Chains A and B, each alone.
Chain A
């Protein structure tokens, strides 16, 4: 017994390190608890209140109410331009047949950014509207320039927004000119990347990328950015398409929460299929 105690005392640092490491791995294996809930909501509300007191306001420091009005007007005009551009490249009849609907501006909840949180390459915003204004988790957020992110947590008067500039975010998007669909991801740096674009597809520098109707998370036709680079690499079947976002994430002051939550039936179906695929993959792995 004394030998065992001596051993523990002698190697206490290593034993502690291994034990705490095992606890950390167990916690990590519980999965990505990426949504706010319980204790985190209380912390979030407290931090949001603190940020509100400090009143972080973008880059200009201008809180003139006319800016808000102009932003709203700009948003309406921006949406109008998007629709007009679409009208030139899409057949009206075809659109009617597919039942593509545009977002009405009356479905937008304006809000002001009161805080920005940057934690180890993760970007979040806090806004001054919450449950009381009808904001719910899962709603998409944009400004007059384009897509910003989604609401991942709410308290009565505040909401927490996950920017699209985050590792987990994948956006079903399309080239506005050619209707070619792809997945937008952020892999670090200034530009986003559009995945799954075959070399034979017609995607050119200067094309505008918008959210597609394939997205189960974001409403369709919200501008995302412009193609700034198209590279073809030898031995690859896909092109490297780089997109510069319209939104400057460093200068956000006012934004709009789109009062539309993803179809729960569709979400449920996707989750079920995801679970089936994951299950099949693990069976295959075990089989090997």
Chain B
């Protein structure tokens, strides 16, 4: 009896992880093909970062780190970027987000404004790392560039996180 419960749990974990993988692939396509339609002045939301934070808030920091690394490297490979930059940036973002994970309280955390604060903090850490490597080969000054693009990308990503929060709020109220 105990074995079958364990099997069901294991199967459900596998299914959940497969779902994460499929969503990651779909969001990568959205990133490459459609994201330009919602970009303002070259600033676009980082949906894959939101997915990484979502996974971390559900599975914990340890699992989130692997997903962040995988998703980041995959994005680096399919986009035209230095391989490792998105991987590193997402890894650090998830490491930060992971400190706010409390087992069994995922829905509670994600359905209030605390979740937005987590996204802002993680996206901020992500963008500091990403833009540091972005401007490294050029003569661009970091701070003016980061204030212009890093902060706006952080805020724009947070706007999209509101939708995630609303979904959780709705689920909680049901």
| Residues of B in contact, count (CB < 8 Å) | 50
| Residues of A in contact, count (CB < 8 Å) | 48
Q: Are A120 and B130 in contact (CB under 8 A)?
A: yes
Mark out the residues of chain A between 10 and 29 whose CB falls within 8 Å of any chain B CB in the assembled complex.
12-13, 16-17, 20-21, 23-28
Q: Are B65 and A13 in contact (CB under 8 A)?
A: yes
Interface presence of A206 (CB below 8 A): no
Interface presence of A97 (CB below 8 A): no
Separation in Å of the B8 CB from the closest CB of chain A? 26
Contact of B87 among A24, A153, A185 (CB under 8 A): A24
Contact of B80 among A21, A31, A124 (CB under 8 A): A124
Contact of A50 among B33, B43, B72, B91 (CB under 8 A): B33
Q: Mark A153-189, 1 if CB is under 8 A from B, else 0.
A: 1000000101000011000000000000000010111
Interface presence of A284 (CB below 8 A): no
A13, A24, A168 interface centre (most CB from chain B within 10 Å): A24
Mark out the residues of chain B between 81 and 137 whose CB falls within 8 Å of any chain A CB in the assembled complex.
81-88, 91-92, 95, 98, 130-131, 133-135, 137
Q: Are A167 and B39 in contact (CB under 8 A)?
A: no
Contact of B79 among A16, A119, A189, A195 (CB under 8 A): A119
How far, in angstroms, from A128 to B44 measured CA to CA in the complex?
A: 25
Interface presence of B52 (CB below 8 A): no
Contact of A43 among B35, B43, B77, B153 (CB under 8 A): B77
Chain A residues, Cβ within 8 Å of B33: 47, 50-51, 54, 115, 117
Q: A13-B98, A28-B83 are in contact. Are A167 and B137 (CB under 8 A)?
A: yes
Q: Are A122 and B80 in contact (CB under 8 A)?
A: yes
Q: Are A25 and B62 in contact (CB under 8 A)?
A: no
Q: Are A118 and B44 in contact (CB under 8 A)?
A: yes
B76, B84, B131 interface centre (most CB from chain A within 10 Å): B84
Separation in Å of the B79 CB from the closest CB of chain A? 5
Interface segment among A34-42, A103-111, A224-232: the answer is A34-42
Interface segment among B12-20, B144-152, B164-172: the answer is B144-152
Contact of B65 among A16, A123, A188 (CB under 8 A): A16
Interface presence of B4 (CB below 8 A): no
Q: Mark B21-59, 1 if CB is under 8 A from A, else 0.
A: 000000001011101100100111010000000000000
Contact of A168 among B29, B73, B137, B148 (CB under 8 A): B137
Q: Are A16 and B62 in contact (CB under 8 A)?
A: yes
A-B contact pairs, 16 of them (CB 8 A): A12-B62, A13-B98, A16-B65, A17-B65, A24-B84, A31-B82, A39-B77, A43-B77, A43-B78, A118-B39, A120-B134, A121-B43, A122-B81, A152-B80, A168-B138, A188-B148
In the complex, besides A20-B65, A33-B83, 10 extra interface pairs with C-beta distance below 8 angstroms are: A13-B62, A27-B83, A31-B82, A32-B82, A40-B77, A117-B32, A160-B80, A167-B135, A167-B138, A188-B140
Which residues of chain A have a CB within 8 Å of any CB of chain B? 12-13, 16-17, 20-21, 23-28, 30-36, 39-40, 43, 47, 50-51, 54, 56, 115-124, 152-153, 160, 162, 167-168, 185, 187-189, 195
